[in-house]
């Protein structure tokens, strides 16, 4: 686990990832040891996006983007898309078809969200620009799920603060993410990915 | 049972015109949409099932209403006029008034809360506050929701959150809205810029009573559109970040108008008062328009002796169902226009215009 402190100045140091001058200096405190990472703005964005625990820049940064959470689920669910062509799938709960939903704009019952999962997922993506709930959950929700939601919420905040070029905030959020990931690891779960 | 007699003569806490930023912000509102997990959604089902849902929810709704609440009312047996009255009062939605089958509403103390059963979703709960008070709205509605969830299971899945009849509400099921009075931005046509920037932030801007884009009386409601992928706190926070800019924009424009054109503005608001104090017949639309000018005049100190709550109340009490409840008889539109004018003359009577200005 690490704690980052971020300073910004124009010393003549070079970015550790490329050849541009480093303008952001991130002090990582890890196992009681401080290490300073010097980066240019572009590389700092990538560095902060990557939330691997304790990774130094030389060990990561291969991927451009932060991990996409829904990827694994997406693959598993793609299998269900086979039914796509078969004429009319109707909801087992209420009997309406997706076509009927499209014409009235209202779903028939809560189970519709499972029955028309894939079609709804792309619709929700276009309405909300997101497909994963990260807000309030019912009282019986497991700690595992809550942590999963919290991680996804923080990752979207991280992305937003990097887009706003607020690197101080980004570093803080990244630390929070690492804390939660470490909790998940120590309670025997694989971190949600 | 709901006491319509008392309701007609009173007005809600959220119209008091106090609260933070109340020179521009009329009210704040948060609503949550929830559904029972084992029943079809109200629009797509039978009256028998709507009846079952109403029977399941009525008890818990009554139980979570805070002390001093006005109580629970079955909406379906009400006369059209009474339902319209509740809509004008913002205690139920137009959709709820016009929906089918067994349905009801629990009304909290001082009209600051309402819980609609069998609207578009099984349960639509809203909390209203005067001025800019989103945190308070959230605390209250979150507490009510927590209490309800001790008693009933709401339809929820870990991926899509709280499941709703319309996918535009799924996830948090939360709509956060703030009602703003923006007369200066409307007069200078700067309001277009507000629309554009709100649109960029994925926030919706709607007029208060009118249909479509033409707002009546310069009131605009700004609300979130996305309900999925953000937490409730994030949604509230993003509203709290943009609203102050709009308020400052309106205030700056008001100041500039006073500075550049004080006498013209003073004339405009004084004429508005003059017409309202002497008209013998007046439409709802003209009333909105003039009350809006008057509200601006009071906030700018150009008109004394009238309080903002009086104006806020007139916006509600001059609407069709209110006029008919107040007079105790159903009225045609021309009779309403006369009744409206007389009601306004009465409420605005004892006012002395300010000294001659400069
Ligand atoms: Zn670099
Ligand atoms: Zn269904």
Tell me the pLDDT tens digit for each residue of B45-55. Answer: 999 999 999 99
* A84, pLDDT greater than 80: no
pLDDT at res. B106: 96
Crossing angle of helices B284-299/B333-348, nearest 10°?
A: 20
Please state, in angstroms and as integers, the Cα–Cα distance from residue A174 to each residue in A122, A142, A144, B197, following that order.
29, 24, 19, 29
Tens digits of residue pLDDT in B163-202: 999 999 999 999 999 999 999 999 998 988 998 888 888 8
Radius of gyration of chain B (CA): 21
CB of A161 closer than 8 Å to CB of A170: yes
pLDDT number for residue A63: 29
Cβ neighbours of A147 in B, within 8 Å: none
The average pLDDT across A95-102 equals 91
Residue A131 has a pLDDT of 92
> Which of A181-185, B218-222, B238-242, B285-289 has the weakest average pLDDT?
A181-185
Give the Å distance between the CA of A65 and the centre of ligand 1: 16
Q: How sure is the predictor about B354, in pLDDT bands with cuts at 50, 70 and 90?
A: low
Residue B80 above 60 pLDDT? yes
Mean pLDDT of B216-231: 89
> Average pLDDT, whole number, for chain B?
90
Cβ contact A57:A47 at 8 Å? yes
- The per-residue pLDDT for A136 is 94
Sort out which chain A residues have CB atoms less than 8 A from B41's CB and list them: 106-110
A69 C-alpha vs ligand 1 centroid, how far in Å? 26
User: What does the alpha-carbon distance between residue B258 and residue B260 come to, in Å, rounded to a whole number?
Assistant: 6
- Rounded to an integer, the average pLDDT of B28-48 is 95
B272-to-B7, B278, B290, B291, B317 alpha-carbon distances in Å: 28, 10, 5, 7, 18
**Which residues fall inside 5 Å of ion ligand 1, going by CB?**
A 15, 17-18, 20, 40, 43
Cα gap B314→B15, rounded to integer Å: 10
Residues of B in contact with A138 (CB under 8 A): 149, 153-154, 156
pLDDT for the residue numbered A8? 73
Distance from CA of A121 to the nearest CA of B (A): 9
What residue in A sits closest to B159 (Cα-Cα)? A132
Higher pLDDT, residue A78 or B207: B207
Taking 80 as the threshold, does the pLDDT of residue A93 lie above it? yes
CA gap A140, B150 in Å, rounded:
10
Are the beta carbons of B154 and A94 separated by less than 8 Å?
A: no
Going by pLDDT thresholds of 50, 70 and 90, the confidence category of residue A11 is low
How many CB atoms are closer than 10 A to CB B156? 22
Query: Mean per-residue pLDDT for B22-47?
Result: 94
Contacts of B109 (CB under 8 A, 6+ apart): B13, B66, B67, B68, B69, B70
Pairwise CB contact (< 8 Å): A124 & B37: no
Contact call for residues B262 and B190 (beta carbons, < 8 A) = no
Return the CA Rg of chain A: 21
Residues of chain A contacting B, Cβ within 8 Å: 73, 93-94, 96, 104-110, 113-114, 120, 123-124, 127-139, 141, 145, 148-149, 153, 156-157
For residue B170, the chain A residues in CB contact (below 8 A) are 113, 124, 128, 133
CB pairs under 8 A between A and B: 117
Chain B positions touching A137 (Cβ under 8 A) are: 156, 158, 161
Confidence of residue B1 (pLDDT cuts 50, 70, 90): low
Q: How confident is the model at residue A152, as a pLDDT? A: 83
Under a CB-based contact definition with an 8 Å cutoff, are residues B230 and B174 in contact?
Answer: no
- Contact: A135, B171; criterion CB under 8 Å: yes
How many Å apart are CA A164 and CA A162, to the nearest integer? 5
Chain B residues with CB under 8 Å of A132 CB are: 159, 228-229
Of A93, A96, A113, Cβ closest to residue B160: A113
The answer for residues whose C-beta is within 8 angstroms of residue A87's C-beta and 6 or more apart is none
Confidence band (pLDDT; 50, 70, 90) for A185? Answer: confident
Alpha-carbon distances, residue A188 vs A31, A182, A192 (angstroms)? 21, 10, 12
> Taking residues A8-23, what's their average pLDDT?
78
**What is the DSSP secondary structure assignment for residue A11, as one 8-state letter?**
-
Q: What angle do CA B93, B99, B101 make, to 5 degrees?
A: 135
ipTM over 0.95: no
Residues of A in contact with B229 (CB under 8 A): 128-134, 156
pLDDT score for B256: 95
* CA–CA separation, B96 and B83 (whole Å): 9
Per mean pLDDT, which range of A183-187, B77-81, B157-161 is the poorest?
Answer: A183-187
What angle do the packed helices B333-348 and B320-327 form, to 10 degrees? 80
Rounded CA-CA distance B280/B294 in Å is: 18
Convert the pLDDT of each residue in A107-164 to its tens digit: 999 999 999 999 999 999 988 999 999 999 999 888 888 888 888 888 888 888 888 8
Provide the pLDDT confidence category of residue B126 given band limits of 50, 70 and 90: very high
B357 or B269, higher pLDDT:
B269
- Which positions in chain B have a beta carbon within 8 angstroms of at least one beta carbon in chain A? 35, 37, 39-41, 43-45, 120, 142, 145-146, 149-150, 153-168, 170-172, 174, 202, 226-232, 234
* Mean pLDDT in residue range B56-64: 97
Q: Which of B40, B157, B229 sits opposite A129 (nearest CB)?
A: B229
Minimal CA separation from B120 to chain A, in Å: 9
User: Per mean pLDDT, which range of A28-37, A68-77, B241-250, B299-308 is the poorest?
Assistant: A68-77
Distance CA B284, CA B259 (A): 31
Please write the tens of the pLDDT for every residue from A17-75.
887 888 888 777 655 566 778 888 888 877 777 654 333 333 322 222 222 333 333 33
Task: Say if residues B343 and B317 touch (Cβ distance below 8 Å).
Answer: yes
Contact B130, B13 (CB under 8 A): yes
Helix (H/G/I), strand (E/B), else coil: A153: helix
Is the pLDDT at B322 greater than 50, yes or no? yes
Q: How confident is the model at residue B12 (pLDDT cuts 50, 70, 90)?
A: confident
Percentage of chain B surpassing pLDDT 90?
69
CB contact under 8 Å between A153 and B234, yes or no, is yes
Buried b (16+ CB within 10 A) or exposed e, A35-63: eebbbbeebbbbbbbbbbeeeebeeebee
Q: What percent of chain B has pLDDT over 70?
A: 95
Q: What is the pLDDT at residue A48?
A: 75
Q: Which residues of B touch A145 (CB under 8 A)?
A: 158
Residue B358, pLDDT > 60, answer: no
Return the C-alpha torsion angle A146, A149, A150, A154, nearest 10. Answer: 180
Quote the ligand 1 centre to A39 CA distance (angstroms): 5
- How far apart CA B313 and CA B27 sit, in angstroms, is 13
Give me ligand 1 centre to Cα A47, in Å.
10
What is the C-alpha to C-alpha distance for residues B107 and B2, in angstroms, rounded to an integer?
8
Nearest-angstrom CA–CA distance, B188 and B210:
20
- pLDDT at position A22 is 84
């Amino acid at each position: 686990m690490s704690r980052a402190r971020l300073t910004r100045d124009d010393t003549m140091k070079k970015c550790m990832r490329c050849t541009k001058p480093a303008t952001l200096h991130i002090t990582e405190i890890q196992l009681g040891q401080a290490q300073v990472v010097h980066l240019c703005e572009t590389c700092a964005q990538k560095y902060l996006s990557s939330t691997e625990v304790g990774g130094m820049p030389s060990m990561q940064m291969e991927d451009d983007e932060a991990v996409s959470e829904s990827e694994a689920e997406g693959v598993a669910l793609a299998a269900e898309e086979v039914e796509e062509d078969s004429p009319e799938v109707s909801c087992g709960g209420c009997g309406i078809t997706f076509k009927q939903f499209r014409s009235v704009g209202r779903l028939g019952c809560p189970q519709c969200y499972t029955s028309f999962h894939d079609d709804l997922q792309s619709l929700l993506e276009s309405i909300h620009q997101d497909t994963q709930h990260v807000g309030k959950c019912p009282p019986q929700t497991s700690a595992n799920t809550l942590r999963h939601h919290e991680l996804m919420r923080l990752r979207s905040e991280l992305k937003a603060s990097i887009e706003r070029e607020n690197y101080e905030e980004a570093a803080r959020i990244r630390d929070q993410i690492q804390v939660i990931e470490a909790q998940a690891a120590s309670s025997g779960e694989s971190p949600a990915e | 049972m709901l006491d319509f007699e008392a309701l007609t003569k009173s007005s809600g806490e959220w119209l008091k015109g106090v609260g933070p930023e109340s020179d521009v912000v009329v009210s704040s509102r948060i609503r949550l949409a929830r559904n029972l997990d084992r029943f079809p959604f109200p629009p797509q089902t039978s009256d028998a099932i709507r009846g079952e849902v109403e029977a399941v929810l009525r008890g818990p709704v009554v139980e979570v209403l805070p002390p001093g609440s006005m109580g629970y009312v079955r909406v379906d047996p009400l006369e059209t006029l009474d339902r319209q009255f509740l809509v004008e009062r913002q205690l139920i939605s137009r959709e709820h008034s016009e929906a089918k089958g067994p349905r009801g509403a629990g009304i909290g103390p001082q009209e600051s809360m309402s819980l609609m059963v069998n609207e578009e979703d099984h349960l639509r709960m809203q909390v209203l506050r005067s001025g800019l008070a989103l945190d308070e709205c959230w605390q209250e509605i979150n507490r009510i929701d927590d209490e309800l969830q001790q008693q009933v299971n709401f339809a929820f899945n870990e991926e899509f959150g709280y499941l709703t009849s319309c996918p535009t509400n799924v996830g948090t099921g939360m709509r956060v809205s703030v009602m703003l009075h923006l007369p200066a931005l409307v007069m200078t046509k700067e309001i277009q810029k507000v629309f554009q920037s709100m649109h960029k932030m994925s926030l919706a801007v709607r007029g208060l009573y009118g249909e479509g884009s033409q707002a009546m009386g310069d009131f605009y409601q700004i609300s979130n559109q996305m309900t999925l992928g953000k937490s409730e706190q994030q949604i509230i926070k993003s509203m709290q970040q943009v609203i102050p800019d709009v308020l400052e924009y309106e205030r700056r424009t008001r100041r500039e108008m006073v500075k550049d054109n004080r006498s013209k503005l003073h004339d405009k608001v004084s004429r508005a008062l003059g017409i309202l104090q002497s008209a013998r017949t007046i439409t709802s639309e003209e009333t909105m328009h003039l009350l809006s000018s008057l509200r601006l005049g009071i906030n700018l100190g150009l008109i004394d002796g009238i309080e903002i709550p009086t104006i806020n109340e007139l916006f509600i009490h001059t609407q069709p169902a209110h006029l008919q409840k107040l007079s105790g008889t159903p009225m045609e539109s021309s009779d309403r226009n006369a009744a409206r004018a007389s009601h306004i003359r009465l409420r605005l009577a004892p006012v002395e215009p300010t000294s001659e200005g400069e």
